[in-house]
């Protein structure tokens, strides 16, 4: 028998929190479910599989991307199966191929960006963002105890999808990280990067650092923190790293998500055009 909670929004929040979903995921699920229920124009206990299919078909006809469709699908399945306890089979696949390739910087553009940042701590933040392929939130929540500087790796804890993963610490950044920890007398429980007021940096701070450096270097691309993660993955592929290695370092659940970097990497072409031998 289906269960119908009094407050759907609160029921979704509680169940997501119990499963340790991130606040961002909780908000996304709540918004997707709200739009779905509004589309059906039905009371929650009357909603069925046909309503789900009709809604997803409507989104598809409006030109929603495969990734967006997948998010709506997962949110609605969560509602139907985990909140309303309706056992309906929703085995629908969507292409996750992006309509546009992600923006990446060349290695020279990355170098110019770093050199334009005067503040050494800010520079280290942006260099580690690129050098380890971290998401902005992962960088800002990084604690000293998650770093193994001797072995050259660290751990992201409770990353996207509430998962842990390993990341590489670039050799060139180790001395800078060690110096920062010593100068600021950081303990193992401390965050690696804190402001002068001992508070956490926020994502907007990262965005401003990158935006200012982009203006100084006259980079015409719309650079943001995630651009550096895209660039990290692309440059790994160009260096010959396997798709599996890149997938593991990025923490992607599906290899399909990582495959996009095969298209952003500059191909190595060893074949010469016949015109060059004329």
209-258 per-position pLDDT tens digit: 999 999 999 888 999 999 999 999 999 998 888 888 888 899 887 777 78
Token pair recorded at residue 94: 């969507």
User: Is the alpha carbon torsion for 179, 208, 127, 116 positive or negative?
Assistant: negative
Annotated catalytic, 261?
yes
85 vs 273: which has the higher pLDDT: 85
pLDDT of residue 100 exceeding 60: yes
CA 200/CA 214 separation, integer angstroms: 23
Judge whether 163 counts as a catalytic residue: no
Residues 6+ apart with CB under 8 A from 74: 29
CATH number for the domain formed by residue range(s) 8-83: 1.10.150.130
Angle at 9 between CA 159 and CA 26, to 5 degrees: 10
Average pLDDT value over all residues in the chain:
85
Please list the residues that pair with 249 across neighbouring strands: none
Catalytic annotation, pick one of 42, 221, 226, 253: 226
Dmax (CA) for the chain in angstroms is 79
Catalytic residue check, 229: yes
160 given a catalytic annotation: yes
Is residue 70 annotated as part of the catalytic site, yes or no? no
Q: Annotated catalytic, 24?
A: no
> Which of the following is catalytic: 121, 122, 123, 135?
135
Catalytic residue among 96, 160, 176, 212: 160
Q: Are 67 and 98 in contact (CB under 8 A)?
A: yes
- In this predicted model, which residue has the larger pLDDT, 166 or 278? 166
> What are 204's two structure tokens?
């907007």
Q: Which residue has the higher pLDDT, 18 or 131?
A: 131
Distances from the Cα of 47 to the Cαs of 7, 32, 41, 62, in angstroms?
16, 15, 9, 22
**Residue range 107-264, CATH number:** 1.10.443.10
pLDDT per position as a tens digit, 102-153: 899 999 999 999 999 999 999 999 999 999 999 999 999 999 999 999 999 9
pTM, two decimal places: 0.68
- The beta strands (E) that lie in the chain are given as 147-148, 153-156, 165-168
Domain boundaries, the chain: 8-83, 107-264
């Amino acid at each position: 028998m289906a269960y119908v909670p009094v407050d759907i929004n609160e029921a979704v929040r509680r169940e997501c929190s119990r499963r340790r979903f991130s606040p961002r995921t909780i908000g996304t699920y709540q918004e997707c479910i709200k739009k779905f229920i509004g589309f059906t124009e039905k009371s929650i206990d009357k909603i069925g599989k046909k309503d789900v299919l009709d809604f997803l078909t409507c989104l598809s006809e409006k030109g929603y991307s495969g990734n967006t469709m997948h998010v709506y699908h997962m949110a609605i399945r969560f509602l139907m199966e985990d909140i309303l306890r309706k056992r309906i089979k929703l085995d629908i696949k969507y292409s996750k191929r992006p309509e546009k390739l992600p923006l990446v910087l060349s290695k020279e553009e990355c170098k110019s960006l770093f050199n334009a940042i005067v503040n050494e701590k800010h520079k280290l933040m942006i260099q580690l963002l690129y050098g380890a392929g971290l998401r902005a939130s992962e960088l800002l929540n990084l604690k000293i105890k998650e770093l193994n500087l001797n072995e050259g790796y660290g751990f992201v804890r409770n990353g996207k999808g509430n998962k842990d993963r390993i990341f590489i610490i670039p050799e060139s950044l180790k001395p800078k990280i060690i110096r920062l920890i010593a100068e600021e007398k950081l303990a193992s429980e401390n965050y690696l990067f804190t402001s002068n007021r001992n508070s956490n940096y926020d994502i907007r701070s990262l965005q401003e650092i990158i935006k200012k450096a982009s203006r100084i270097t006259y980079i015409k691309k719309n650079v943001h923190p995630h651009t550096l993660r895209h660039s990290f993955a692309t440059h790994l592929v160009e260096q010959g790293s396997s798709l599996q290695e890149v997938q593991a370092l990025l923490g992607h659940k599906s290899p399909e998500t990582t495959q996009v970097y095969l298209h952003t990497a500059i191909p190595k072409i060893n074949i010469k055009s016949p015109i060059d031998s004329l």
